[in-house]
Amino acid sequence: MRIRAADALGKIALWNGCQTLEELLTDAAVDLAPRVRSLEMLCRSHPKRARHVLPGVAADKSK
Q: Tell me if residue 5 falls in helix, strand or coil.
A: helix
Q: Return the domain boundaries, the chain.
A: 2-53
Nearest to 63 by CA among 47, 50, 40: 47
Contacts of 13 (CB under 8 A, 6+ apart): 19, 20, 21, 23, 24
Taking a C-beta distance cutoff of 8 angstroms, is the pair 21, 10 a contact? yes
The pTM for the full model equals 0.42
pLDDT in tens, 16-62: 787 777 887 788 888 888 888 887 787 778 777 666 666 555 445 44
